[in-house]
Amino acid sequence: MGTELAGEPATGPGLLLDVRGLTKVFGSLIACNSVDLQIAKGEIHALLGENGAGKSTLVKMLFGTLAPNAGEIVWNGKQVRIGSPGEARRLGIGMVFQHFSLFEALTAAENIALSLDSTTPISAIAAKAKELSHSYGLPLDPGSLVGDLSVGERQRIEIIRCLLQEPDLIILDEPTSVLTPQEADKLFETLERLRGEGKSILYISHRLEEVQRICDRATVLRHGKVVAHCNPRQETAGSLARMMVGGDVHEVHREHPDHVEGAPLIEIRNLSQAPKGPFSMPLRDISLTVRAGEVVGIAGVAGNGQGEFFDAVSGEAVQADPATVRIRNIDAGTLGITGRRLLGAGFVPEERLGHGAVPGMKLSDNMLLARHTSDAKAFLGGGALGFIRRDAIEATTKRVVEEMDVRKSAEDPEASALSGGNLQKFIIGRELDRKPSVLIVNQPTWGVDAGAAARIRQALIDLTRTGSAVIVISQDLDELFEISDRIAVMAHGEMSPTIPIQEATREKIGLLMGGADTGAH
């Protein structure tokens, strides 16, 4: 069990960074509340915490993009004020961002040049980057356009860019959330090599296995406060999770039937689609059948065609051939979203604010926007005039809120006033309330806290018990292993055959995510 004593804070001359009482306040929210953090030379230090615990705010203050309200930063024994990323870089602090700070319309070399203060010509920077990338085994083509690169390749650019500045401390913000397991292994090798060279690493993650594997010490944040310093190798995943969440996490319960014999509820046949823009993926001959009572998980590194697949199945991108998408044995390929919803399908897109819900509108209005046609009988009155029946809509909204345990501050708040997890619960509940025969969800728990994520996963499983079919697209392999009956993997716009969960291993899925051909097609 982690205590304040377990991972004794390093002191003395070996200390690279010593943060004392760092505080950041946004309006009424204390994002970081008197945070202490010590990082020694040559250590990999984990910063653990749930979404919204204040990890990103803390590192933004260390990198000079946010100004702290209180507290001090001591760097190499000297008190410093870090006013800008430029100053942070000059001190020797490098950063690899979670949502990469890259420019899609520029080349890799240009991206690297932009973060270097020097006036070295870009050709020289390109040569240096290429050399460094090869010596670390992270091959990189400096002339390629970032918009054309995979997420893993983009991260390489970030890492090489960071290394070229020869930093003493490298901050990595959730680096593996976008990588295949194999790419993550490669990253860990690089990090261990850097530690061997005497560099320090601040590793931010909520993935406990990784932290236990590579980190020497950990600082755990919860609601902006440090709740523990510990040695992650002396902890269990369960004890670390309890520190992060502050209680036990509800475990999702499901039994996997060996054989699903339900009727096919959604069939996708030979779905191919040209790329819609310069940075979008084509879809290549995708076929998938999902039967009543099963959850099929779609794994894959972000940007391998999952978004395009969701759009094609939901009807946002209408197909030319009606038979490419069949919902409950009816050709639906040429139907739009409303048409497919009328056939009993429900859809939850990836982007909550702006796609799944209108941020500035009340929950009840968002309810009507999604279900105006599929529930016209309940929600609209006056025949062709279509008067809005507020009472019916508000009653349904209330039912969904209660059913999914959506926590809100007002009776009928605007969608943007809800936290990410609560809004996601509302959006999924809005679809579940219709008891859809087919539900397709893209990234159901992205950026959602552990409690809400467990609630959402349980709701998806419960839906299949009533004889519905569910497709879950997710980057989170743990999630897919937890809820899926079968898993398919998308890579470069192609979909692998599905693998029954009993036969699926992380290694197998990881290889497919990296685009390895299993020879199974």
Residues that bind another protein in the complex, under the rule CB under 8 A: 64-67, 84-86, 88-89, 97, 100-106, 110, 113-115, 119, 122, 145, 147, 277-279
Which secondary structure element, helix H or strand E, spans residue 420, and what is its range?
helix 420-432
Structure tokens belonging to residue 117 = 């203060």
Measured distance CA(295)–CA(439) in Å, rounded: 9
Measured distance CA(372)–CA(379) in Å, rounded: 7
Long-range pairs for 158-162: beta carbons < 8 A, 24 or more residues apart: 158/96, 158/97, 158/100, 158/101, 158/102, 159/96, 159/187, 159/190, 160/112, 160/129, 160/132, 160/133, 160/136, 161/111, 161/112, 161/115, 161/116, 161/129, 162/94, 162/95, 162/96
Task: Specify the amino acid at residue 283.
Answer: L
Whichever of 30 and 145 has its CB closer to another protein, that residue is 145
Residues in a beta bridge with 413: none
Which secondary structure element, helix H or strand E, spans residue 169, and what is its range?
strand 169-173
Measured distance CA(388)–CA(382) in Å, rounded: 9
- Cα 444 to its chain centre, rounded Å, is 10
Buried b / exposed e over 429-440, threshold 16 CB at 10 Å, is bbbbbbebbbbb
Write down the residue that tokens 């008891």 correspond to.
Answer: 435
- Residues in CB range of 72: below 8 A, 6 or more apart: 19, 20, 21, 22, 79
Q: 193, 136 in Cβ contact below 8 A?
A: yes
Q: 424, 350 in Cβ contact below 8 A?
A: no
Measured distance CA(14)–CA(170) in Å, rounded: 17
Structure tokens belonging to residue 445 = 């728990």
**Beta-carbon neighbour count of residue 264 at 10 Å?**
14
Measured distance CA(243)–CA(348) in Å, rounded: 31
Structure tokens belonging to residue 446 = 């992205």
**Beta-carbon neighbour count of residue 351 at 10 Å?**
12
